[in-house]
Amino acid sequence: MRFRSYDSLKTFDAVARNLSMTKAADEVHQSKGSISYQINKLEAELGFRLFERAHAKLELTEEGRRLWHVSQTALSQIDREIEDLRGTASGAVTVGALTYFSLRWLSPRLTRFFEANPGISLRIEPINSAGMLKNVRVDMAILWGIGGWKDYQSELFLSLPAVPTANRAVAEQVRQLGLAEAVRQLPLLGDSSGDAGWRAWHKAAGLPYAPRRSSLTIPDSNSRVQAVVDGQGIALWDDLVAPEFGDGTLVRLSDVRVENAGYFILFTDQPMSQGSEAFLDWLRAENDRNERLA
């Protein structure tokens, strides 16, 4: 049966971002009852649940996470295309970035960018891999990896070594199995580098890369953090998850690190605008500022 409720995807996006019917209702200027009705109707048409509702708290289901990611990307592309057709986006800078990086590093610092560059409009496009750059139009992209992207020039601008990470229950399994056996038996969650990050970690640890199971692929980086918190497997994470390390939600499983990992700027083949140059200069200066304060 053909899907028809495209209008409700905007409502779904608001609820997924806020994980609250009340906050979503305030955002889109509708009643909470109207939002709840639209979500229930959407779930009925889709034939699967988008949210788990427990003790008045909403959590995205795995199906909900997958649909939210693809709908976010599609709706954002539609908005961008409309702006281009209207001729209103010529002064905007579009940056493709991992949702995890956008939330944990970029968003808390953007006020300083706009204070220094009041005439520049910025658009953050969620992407998960370099392969997505063939389908979205961005001025540059920020991805995690160890370098060497085919077809793109890249620049390491934020070096952050990564370590295997799990929640406490999975960490106990790792302790019982031993790390070498655990990384063979337990699911290893991939990232924007494909399996390059895990291969680099195994090499640093002196272990063969021979996982028995890799059954869970979660392209969206924020959703992948949650998957590790939920105990779905082991993933490579860096100090951007310091809050989870600090409160014990996540545990470092090894002192062996992927030393050359970090966040790279990938450059597309389109000419850099003045706005893009300004944003690139700000990224570099912001990282220098962080290093001076560290």
Q: What is the DSSP string of 166-202?
A: E-HHHHHHHHHH-HHHHHHHS-B--BTTBTHHHHHHH
Beta-bridged to residue 124, according to DSSP, are: 95
| Helix-strand-coil split of the chain, %, nearest 5 | 50, 20, 30
Q: Is 19 left (phi over 0), alpha (psi -120 to 50) or beta?
A: left
Q: Using only the alpha carbons of the chain, give its radius of gyration.
A: 20
The whole-number pLDDT of residue 25 equals 86
- CA-to-CA distance for 221 and 111, rounded, in angstroms? 23
The whole-number pLDDT of residue 279 equals 94
The whole-number pLDDT of residue 292 equals 59
Give the chain's residues under pLDDT 70: 1-5, 55-56, 79-91, 213-215, 290-294
Torsion angle in degrees (nearest 10) through CA of 200, 194, 238, 176: -70
Q: What is the DSSP letter of 14?
A: H
Q: Which residues contact 84 (CB under 8 A, 6 or more apart)?
A: none
Q: How far is CA 51 from the centre of its chain?
A: 19
Predicted TM-score (pTM) of this structure: 0.69
The whole-number pLDDT of residue 180 equals 95
- CA-to-CA distance for 7 and 261, rounded, in angstroms? 40
The whole-number pLDDT of residue 250 equals 96
- CA-to-CA distance for 150 and 130, rounded, in angstroms? 9
The whole-number pLDDT of residue 86 equals 57
- CA-to-CA distance for 28 and 14, rounded, in angstroms? 8
Q: Which of 202, 226, 205 lies closest to 216 in space, CA to CA?
A: 226
Q: Are 152 and 96 in contact (CB under 8 A)?
A: no
The whole-number pLDDT of residue 204 equals 96
